[in-house]
Structure formats: C-alpha cells, structure tokens
Amino acid sequence: MRTLRVIGIGTGNPEHLTLQAVRALADVDAVFALDKGAEKADLLALRRAICAEHIRKPYRFVAAEDPARDRRPADYGGTVEAWHAARAELLEGLIRDNLGAGEVGAFLVWGDPSLYDSTLRILERIRARSTLPFACTVVPGITSVQALTAAHQILLNRIGAEVLITTGRNLADGVLVADSTVVMLDGDPAFDHLDPELTIYWGAYLGSPDEILLSGRLGTVGPEIRRLRAEARTRHGWIMDTYLLRRP
C-alpha cells in the first residue's frame, strides 16, 4: 500500500514547519509538486529547499506542469471542476509511476491543507476511482490568516464577535462583511464598494523576507495598498496577499 502525506508548510518562512511536519518529511521516498511556471519558480524552489533540509534519505522530487485554466471564466464553478479533474488525472499518473508499493509520498501544501487548497479534494477524486489505492495522512500548517494576525500583532476576533473567511470573488459579489472578515485569493482588490470606515490589516508575502504590511482606515490606505500591490507584483511576477477587514 502506498502512503501519501499532505503536509502544511506555512506561508513562505521555512521556520513555519512544525515539529510534526519535520518528522513527517524525514522518511519520504517521493515529493510531488505542480510547477506553476517561471513566474512562480521561487515557490517550487522553496519546496525543494525544505526537502533538502529535512528528508533524511534518498528521495525523488517529481514535478509536472500544472494544467492551465481560465482565470476569468464565465462559469467559475464549471471551470474549477474541469481543472480539478485534469489535476487528478495528472497526479494519479505521477503517483502510479513514481511511488512503489510500501513507499511514502508527500505533497507540500502552502499554508494549511484545510484552507483554500485543492490537494485533499483532488486526492479524494483519485481515491474515488478505486484504481490507485493509498493511505493518506494530513499534517496541519500555519495559515496566511495566522501569519497575518501575528505580523500585525492583533487578534483574529473581538470578544464574542464573529469571523468570516472568504474570497475576493465573494466580497466583490456582495458578501456582507462580518465584524472581522478575512479575504483571501483576491486577484484584484477593489475597495470602492466597501465602507471606508472599516479598518484593514493587509499583508503580502507573509512570513518571507519580502513581507509587506500596511494597516489603517480603508478609505485612507486602500489606494496605497493597491499601489504597493501592483509594484510588488511587477517586481516578483506574482503576489500572495491576504487582508482582514474590521468594523469600526
């Protein structure tokens, strides 16, 4: 029986790895990764560096090009469904060809496997086909939500108040802002439709040497966040950022 470990690795700081994650990596035979192209080559390089540091035996690093998808589809749900199906087909072949019976494979997941990541969903697709049996364990990691609140030295929630974690797409579609709302996967933040009196805590490249932080009244710092974000994206070729909105 093959074993797969889905390991959360935090948001860019190699020290985000937990002791459990370090132990889970030590005896891995193969690490699987999806290559997202030259613009995000440093994300793949970080995974390679983590493996070199913590795997204590000869291992294989198996990378393949991530299937392409439309980033501005008319049918978002259908597009993501097709993308996940393509990923499942690709990864099933990689696992079958590069991981033998009795061996241990690993997926290193940015942040935590439970939060806006498709790895577990895709592995469940593969399992459902019943053509490639495997056992699976999950090791939690530090999320961008935790890294953001730590960087700004704030609590995620106020006393007895609710917290909403959502996406930029949902926020743009009119999702109501909770007392504290964390927004992830916002490819083009637009704040004009929001209450300018909200407080925003924004962070990009959290936990990495390139970390950028800004906070304040949304109506005041919103334009500056958009400017900094655009400059950083041009400089690095990609950006990962998260922000928290809080009612006055």
Q: For the purposes of burial, counting CB atoms within 10 Å of the CB of 173, is it exposed (0-12), middle (13-18) or buried (19 or more)?
A: exposed
- Are 45 and 29 within one domain? yes
**Strand runs labelled E in 97-178:** 104-109, 134-139, 163-167
Number of domains into which the chain is organized? 2
**Domain range spanning residue 217?**
144-246
Dump pLDDT digits (tens) for 205-228: 999 999 999 999 999 999 999 999
Strands 104-109 and 2-8, how do they pair? parallel
* pLDDT band at residue 6 using 50, 70 and 90 as cut-offs: very high
Distance CA 116, CA 163 (A): 16
Q: For the purposes of burial, counting CB atoms within 10 Å of the CB of 91, is it exposed (0-12), middle (13-18) or buried (19 or more)?
A: buried
> What are the CA-CA distances from residue 211 to residues 18, 36, 94, 97, 126 (Å)?
21, 21, 34, 38, 36
Dump pLDDT digits (tens) for 120-178: 999 999 999 889 999 999 999 999 999 999 999 999 999 999 999 999 988 887 777 79
- Are 129 and 157 within one domain? no
- Are 127 and 195 within one domain? no
- Are 131 and 148 within one domain? no
- Are 151 and 187 within one domain? yes
Instruction: Indicate if the pLDDT at residue 203 is higher than 90.
Output: yes
Residue 135 in tokens: 């056992």
- Are 74 and 197 within one domain? no
